[in-house]
Structure 1
Amino acid sequence: MPENSTDVVVDTLTLRFVGEDEDGTELHELRASHVAEVLLGLVGLTSDFEKAGVFNDEGLANSEVLVRPAQEGSFLIEVVRIITDNLGALPAVGVALGVPTLSQVIWWATKSARADVRDYERLDNGLVKVYWQDDTVDEIPVEAWEELQKRKRRRKSQLRQIMAPLSDNRVTSLDVAGTPENDVEAPEDIPEPEVFVLSRDDYNAVKPDDEIDENSEFIEVEAQMSAIDFDDPTRWKVKTDGHSRSAAVEDSAFLARVAAGLAIRKSDIFRLRVRIDTTVKNGRSTSKWTVLHVESYRRAAGDDEPTTPLAPSA
């Protein structure tokens, strides 16, 4: 280290993983692989936001994330972010104005992953007032706001790593606390959440986009054709149990009969063989209906026409 250099502790982050072991005792150990992921995620997240100028105005070099020895009791991970730079450059740190802490960055990043933005406005003090769709509001430094709009897949991966122990059924929550040290104060305009809690729902919310669960099931169901698109067979609608669903029709023989003038009434009841493709992405489920074959149809009650079988699809 150069003779005219010094260490400045910017802030301390404490992560407390809460839960119980199988025997009911308080959680006191985590899988080593999960702890490694936590630290990798923290280093990656810190690096991105530091390069964006979130923690300082002058882009000081040699910022480093360190880990302190664990304390006895609950399983704690205490992380310290230290900036090492020439003594003459230290006034550029901007300690008088304050800088965001690691816990604030984790809070904003997690919030942006689980809640969409309803609106925002840039304030005269260099902050961005963000109105989330869950009816909460945060004031975020413009550099942090701009970084939150970038590298969203990587951001989710970093948060996923930080919350990795929540994939263990023994771990029920993660308490996050930030404590500025060495008289380095957070900006007055940005309230520091003393402690906030992340749950398994938050862990699921930051599931990377490339981690997608897909499955299909096949059913036979009676339905009515509530909307027909002669030009696009992927834009039909079928009505079952009083609910209309968009559906794609792949039964070429049935489509040919429709094109040839098959009269379809809204009250007609069709027997359909359907494939339902379900995709679970970031904890949200969407389903797509595909009509593989129209087995038969009949007129509604009161009509004299019998059930009409239809030819197998080609």
Structure 2
Amino acid sequence: MTETTPADDGVAAADAMILRFVGTDQNGVALQELRAAHVAEVLQGLVGLTSDFEKAGVFHEDGPSGSEVLVRPPREGSFIIEVVRMATDNWDAAKIAAATAEAAVVGVPSLSSILWWATKSTRAQVKDVTYLDNGNVKINWQDDTVDEVPAAAWNELKTRKTRRKKQLRQIMAPLSDTRVTEVDVANPSAPDHYEATDKNAQTTASPQSFVLRRSDYDAVRPEDEVQQSSEIFSAEAQMAAINFDDPTKWRVKTRNRTRNVAVEDSAFLGRVAHGLAIRRTDIFWLRIREDKTVTNGRTQTHWTVEKVETYRRAAGDNESQEANPTSD
């Protein structure tokens, strides 16, 4: 599919890709609508994925060709998104490559090829790679399949893996909707030349049509973003709950809050085991370690009493040590 837009002779449609979202509604009728938020994610993911491979020089041997991704109106009768990559620079070469039947093989892959390699890299680990005389790279996957890709594409596949997972997650966002069962991906301008060239392995640039399912969507689940930190501070507290059998299940009440704590002060625990009487009104000066874990924006905090530094039996005696604490 090679077109020149009438409004601008310096722009050519280099290739196109069709995404057909397959599913049924609650009445068993073929799905004809998607959630607007999901459609927005699909387009954002496609633009991001195309941009990264464009910057890597995948679409033109001489470097970036200034691609722009456009979207065509959905068709009636099913939910289809057709995107077009427009070459805004080096467009004469882009038109020649797009018109060549073996364009994907000689090093100018289509959008569907890029999507295939990107999703494949999340489903299978790389066993080994071979740098070929034609400048391409042969990837041997651990599922015993083989792909031949341009060197620039291989270099891009090796980097920005977290970012790419996010892009693929966006592209497949409609699969999070239980009504959607699969995404049919097709290059409307190229035949499917995913053919076996070896009886033990399938080798090609990529299939020009394939299906993405929920297992593919699950494969690009982002890894948890975890941040951990610790802070040690001292505070006055009363023992709100004591567990003589399990020192990890105590509760302390400070001036501002009541928290579950683990007590690690073995000397203090020994005194408790030997009969130290503790009343709810007794006040302790505690050295506390606060361990904080933030997972995908959600915070969990755990307190550990490292040392019971002082202890007095009267509450409300105006002898607070929080302004000027002392230690044994």
Which residue in 2 is equivalent to 1:110?
119
2:89 match: secondary structure: strand
Which residue in 1 is equivalent to 2:305?
none
Distance 1:60 1:116, change over 3 A: closer
TM-score, with normalisation over the residues of structure 2? 0.58
CA distance in 1, matches of 2:93, 2:216: 38
Find the structure with the greater CA-based Rg: 2
CA distance in 2, matches of 1:158, 1:16: 18
Aligned residue type for 1:90 = D
Q: Is the 8 Å Cα contact of residues 18 and 172 (structure 1) preserved in structure 2?
A: yes
Which residue in 1 is equivalent to 2:42?
38
Gaps of 5+ in 2: 191-202, 227-265, 267-328
Aligned residue type for 1:59 = G
Distance 1:121 1:36, change over 3 A: same
Match of 1:126 among 135, 141, 153: 135
Q: Could you report, residue by residue, the CA deviation over 1:210-240 in whole angstroms, capped at 9, with x for unpaired residues?
A: 379xxxxxxxxxxxxxxxxxxxxxxxxxxxx
Identity of aligned residues (%): 60
CA distance in 1, matches of 2:93, 2:143: 39
CA distance in 1, matches of 2:23, 2:95: 39
Q: Is the 8 Å Cα contact of residues 57 and 63 (structure 2) preserved in structure 1?
A: yes
Which residue in 1 is equivalent to 2:78?
74
Distance 1:191 1:207, change over 3 A: same
TM-score, with normalisation over the residues of structure 1? 0.61
Match of 2:180 among 162, 171, 193: 171
Distance 1:59 1:75, change over 3 A: same
CA distance in 2, matches of 1:194, 1:91: 21
Which residue in 2 is equivalent to 1:9?
13
Aligned residue type for 1:29 = E
Which residue in 1 is equivalent to 2:92?
90
CA distance in 2, matches of 1:73, 1:33: 21
Aligned residue type for 1:142 = A
Which residue in 2 is equivalent to 1:28?
32
Q: Does 1:65 align with 2:69?
A: yes
Distance 1:92 1:28, change over 3 A: closer
Distance 1:155 1:4, change over 3 A: closer
Q: Could you report, residue by residue, the CA deviation over 1:177-224 in whole angstroms, capped at 9, with x for unpaired residues?
A: 01348xxxxxxx944523200110000001111379xxxxxxxxxxxx
2:159 match: secondary structure: coil
- Larger relative contact order (CA 8 Å, sep ≥ 6): 1
CA distance in 1, matches of 2:173, 2:155: 26
Match of 1:202 among 216, 220, 224: 216
Q: Could you report, residue by residue, the CA deviation over 1:70-96 in whole angstroms, capped at 9, with x for unpaired residues?
A: 11111100000111237xx73477626
Q: Is the 8 Å Cα contact of residues 5 and 85 (structure 1) preserved in structure 2?
A: no
Q: Is the 8 Å Cα contact of residues 60 and 93 (structure 1) preserved in structure 2?
A: no
CA distance in 1, matches of 2:155, 2:179: 36
CA distance in 1, matches of 2:8, 2:24: 49
Offset of residue 7 of structure 1: 2.1
Q: Is the 8 Å Cα contact of residues 13 and 84 (structure 2) preserved in structure 1?
A: yes
2:12 match: secondary structure: strand
CA distance in 1, matches of 2:18, 2:139: 26
Distance 1:147 1:191, change over 3 A: closer
Structure 1 runs (4+) greater than 6 angstroms displaced: none
2:19 match: secondary structure: strand
Match of 1:139 among 135, 143, 148: 148
1:6 match: secondary structure: coil
CA distance in 1, matches of 2:186, 2:119: 14
Aligned residue type for 2:13 = V
Q: Is the 8 Å Cα contact of residues 159 and 206 (structure 1) preserved in structure 2?
A: yes
CA distance in 2, matches of 1:211, 1:180: 40
Q: Is the 8 Å Cα contact of residues 174 and 199 (structure 1) preserved in structure 2?
A: yes
